Structure 1
Amino acid sequence: MSPRDGQRAIARTLLDRHGETYAAQSGIRVGNTPQPLYQLLVLSCLLSARIRASVAVASARALFDAGMRTPRRMADATWQQRVDALGEGGYRRYDERTSTQLGDGAALLLATYGGDLRRMREAADGDLGALRGALQGLPGLGPAGSAIFLREVQGVWTEFAPFLDAKAVQGAERLGLPGESGKLARLVGTDEMAAFASGLVRAALDRSVVDDVLEGSRA
């Protein structure tokens, strides 16, 4: 097997075993419509805190189950309702601060973009730096949160693909894959980039993922 074939085998094994996006885990079917885009934004905010991804996913589900699926519903919910939903998902360490950030962020999104993240995309006009800056202008969504959003949305906002941030590249290097996004993108299909990025992040966060993928790719 050539080195390139070996890299493709690793990438395929990663996709097959650990390639579920965090959005899919949270029950979000990402598409270019306002509600799933907003739900992805909420998930990105939750994932960006120093907390287990499983807790962030459970807390996003709890918020959505409580009806807070749109900026208007999030803004109209009381601070305590948001706290309670976050607590139900296990997001207790940051629940009070995050409740405030989600409420303020929803209000800002409504005031600036009519609650529609597609307008933010249009304003960025294909400029990744402009989009990251706009995302980071929302409360609670710093560099880590904007990177998570872009990793997950690249399948529908294709002008920003391939998007592989430092955490995804770290996972690639642990797997013995190239540390450059262009080379990594050539290992999978263009429609698989979001899932590939999620798998790479899991490899960066969990050594057992690396071991599982390397062992599986040799089988």
Structure 2
Amino acid sequence: MTFRASVLTLYPEMFPGPLAVSLAGRGLAEGAWSLETIQIRDFATDRHRSVDDTPAGGGAGMVMRADVLARAVDHASQPGDPRPRLLMSPRGKPLTQQRVRELAAGPGAVILCGRFEGVDQRVIDLRGLEEISVGDFILSGGEPAAIVLLDAVVRLLPGVMGNAQSGEEESFENGLLEHPHYTRPQEFEGVAIPDVLNSGHHAKIAAWRHEQAEKLTRKRRPDLITNRVTKDG
């Protein structure tokens, strides 16, 4: 089964962008996943191809229209399409590695890239859009966020990553940040690779890596430690 991504955007020229190179690009070329872009303006009905209007109740900026977006979503996601409908939005639920894995195990996704001040709430509710955020910051639009999401998902698809084990030991996979990495030269500017990594003792190496991961997580992301304790408890 090929993972199918349909991206609804005002700027289709932004795709595939970075997704055309490295792991994602190779997977795209080899057919591990497919990508189509859909121009939202094609579903406007006036001669100006308007996709937005002033916010009800007043305020700054413009809001993307529900009727135009609904037609675009309906075109991309026909009845019976099992793919989730996602809206890239700063107010969405934070994207996690768990959600990434869920998406990678599915048939694909329909991704709406928001612009301006946001999207009319009615299309979100009536079309069942799942709002997803890639961080607590504001972008000029949902396109960069969609690229981030797709890159995270595509690399987990079967055959895309050269060594499947690489994905199992990364940050967030076990609730911790990833341990430090080292490679040659043996000594760099007076700092040597930790002895344990040259010991050949796999159990000791695994224990050291876990200890370092916990230490790093406690320092940089104590919230992840708290979440682990809550789940285990």
TM-score range, shorter chain: under 0.3
Give TM-score, length-normalised by structure 1: 0.24
Which one scores higher on RCO, CA 8 angstroms, separation ≥ 6? 1
Q: Quick check: which one's strand share is greater? A: 2
Give the number of the structure whose residues are more often helix, by fraction. 1
